[in-house]
Structure 1
Amino acid sequence: MKNVLGGIQWAVFLIASSIAAPIAIAHVFGMDAGETTLFIQRTIFVLGAACLIQAFIGHKLPINEGPAGLWWGIFVVYAGMVGVMYPTSSDALQALQSGMLVSGVLFIILALTGVINKMKTLFTPAITFTYLMLLILQLSGTFLKGMIGVDSGDDRIDSVLFFGSLVVIFVTFLTMNHKTPWISRYSVLLSIAAGWLLFLIIGKTHAIKFESENLIRLPDMLVYGIPVWDTGVVVTASFITLLLIANMMASIRVMESLLKKSFAVTPPDRMKQGSIASGVNHLLAGLFSAIGPVPISGAAGFVGATRLSSLKPFIMGSILIMVMTLFPSIMSIFAALPPAVAYAVTFAIFTKMVEMAFLELAGESHQLRAYKTAAIGLMIGVGIMFIPQESMSDLPRAFSAVLSNGLIVGTVLAIVVEQFLLWRERKTN
Structure 2
Amino acid sequence: MKELTKSGNWISGLQWLFFIFTNIVVIPITVGAAFGLSSEKIVSLLQLSFIVTGIACMLQALIGHRRALMEGQSGLWWGVILTLVTSASAQGVPLTELGGSLAIGVMISGVLTILIGITGMGPRIAKLFNPGVMGVFMFLFATQLCGIFLKGMLGIPFGNAAKEASINMPVAGLAIVIAILVILISIKAPTSIRRYGLLIGIVAGWIVYTLIFGSDEGAGAGSGGGFGFELFPFGKPVWNTGIIITTVLAGLLNSANTFGALKGTDEMYNELTTNKQYRASFSLTGIITVFAGVFGLVPYSPYVSSIGFLNQTGDFKRTPFILGGFMFFIMGVIPPVGHFFSLLPLSIGSAALFVSYSQIFNSSLRFFQQVTFNTLNVYRSAVPLFVGIIIMTMPSNYFATIPDFIRPLVSSGLLVGIILALFLENLFPWDRLGTSEQKVQAQKSKEERLRRDEAAMESN
TM > 0.5 between the two?
yes
Q: Is the 8 A contact 1:232 1:401 kept in 2?
A: yes
Counterparts of 1:279-428 in structure 2 under 5 Å? 279-291=286-298, 292-294=300-302, 296-297=306-307, 305=315, 318-368=325-375, 371-393=378-400, 395-422=402-429, 425=432
For the residue of structure 1 that corresponds to 2:128, the secondary structure is coil
Gap runs ≥5 in structure 1: 261-266
2:252 is aligned with 1:238: yes
Q: Which amino acid counterpart does residue 412 of structure 2 have in structure 1? A: N
Equivalent in the alignment of 1:185:
195
- Choose which of 149, 172, 177 in structure 2 pairs with 1:167: 177
Residue 11 of structure 1 and its aligned partner are, at CA, apart by 4.6
CA deviations on 1:326-370 (whole Å, 9 max, x unpaired) are 121111112222221122222111211122212211221345566
Equivalent in the alignment of 2:436:
none
Gap runs ≥5 in structure 2: 434-438, 440-460
Q: Is the 8 A contact 2:224 2:339 kept in 1?
A: no
Question: Residues of 2 paired with 1:91 and 1:172: CA distance?
Answer: 44
Equivalent in the alignment of 1:24:
26
Equivalent in the alignment of 1:200:
210
Q: How many residues align?
A: 415
Question: Residues of 1 paired with 2:261 and 2:179: CA distance?
Answer: 28
- Choose which of 257, 260, 267 in structure 1 pairs with 2:270: 257
Change (3 A) 1:162 1:211: closer
Residue 398 of structure 1 and its aligned partner are, at CA, apart by 1.6
Equivalent in the alignment of 1:263:
none
Of 10-19 and 66-75, the range deviating more from structure 2: 66-75
Change (3 A) 1:369 1:141: same
Q: Is the 8 A contact 1:250 1:297 kept in 2?
A: no
Residue 55 of structure 1 and its aligned partner are, at CA, apart by 4.9
Question: Residues of 2 paired with 1:314 and 1:131: CA distance?
Answer: 25
Residue 254 of structure 1 and its aligned partner are, at CA, apart by 5.3
Equivalent in the alignment of 1:46:
52
Q: Which amino acid counterpart does residue 170 of structure 1 have in structure 2? A: I
Change (3 A) 1:299 1:355: closer
- Choose which of 142, 151, 155 in structure 2 pairs with 1:145: 151
Q: Is the 8 A contact 1:149 1:161 kept in 2?
A: yes
2:128 is aligned with 1:114: no
Question: Residues of 2 paired with 1:95 and 1:169: CA distance?
Answer: 39
CA deviations on 1:242-298 (whole Å, 9 max, x unpaired) are x1231353367457538x9xxxxxx99544223322322333333443341416457
Change (3 A) 1:256 1:376: closer
Q: Is the 8 A contact 1:195 1:341 kept in 2?
A: yes
Residue 170 of structure 1 and its aligned partner are, at CA, apart by 0.9
Q: Is the 8 A contact 2:152 2:346 kept in 1?
A: yes
Question: Residues of 1 paired with 2:211 and 2:258: CA distance?
Answer: 43
Change (3 A) 1:343 1:337: same
Equivalent in the alignment of 1:272:
279
Question: Residues of 2 paired with 1:62 and 1:391: CA distance?
Answer: 41
- Choose which of 226, 247, 258 in structure 1 pairs with 2:260: 247
Change (3 A) 1:304 1:390: closer
Equivalent in the alignment of 1:264:
none
Q: Which amino acid counterpart does residue 392 of structure 1 have in structure 2? A: F
Question: Residues of 1 paired with 2:409 and 2:350: CA distance?
Answer: 27
For the residue of structure 1 that corresponds to 2:406, the secondary structure is helix
For the residue of structure 2 that corresponds to 1:363, the secondary structure is coil
Question: Residues of 1 paired with 2:186 and 2:431: CA distance?
Answer: 45
Question: Residues of 2 paired with 1:391 and 1:207: CA distance?
Answer: 33
CA deviations on 1:99-133 (whole Å, 9 max, x unpaired) are 54344323221122232222222222222222233
For the residue of structure 2 that corresponds to 1:17, the secondary structure is helix
Q: Is the 8 A contact 1:172 1:345 kept in 2?
A: yes
Question: Residues of 1 paired with 2:99 and 2:12: CA distance?
Answer: 30
CA deviations on 1:119-168 (whole Å, 9 max, x unpaired) are 22222222222223333333444333322233534333221111111112
For the residue of structure 1 that corresponds to 2:302, the secondary structure is strand
Q: Percent identity?
A: 23
Of 314-323 and 324-333, the range deviating more from structure 2: 314-323
Question: Residues of 2 paired with 1:91 and 1:125: CA distance?
Answer: 39
Equivalent in the alignment of 2:444:
none
Q: Is the 8 A contact 1:17 1:66 kept in 2?
A: no
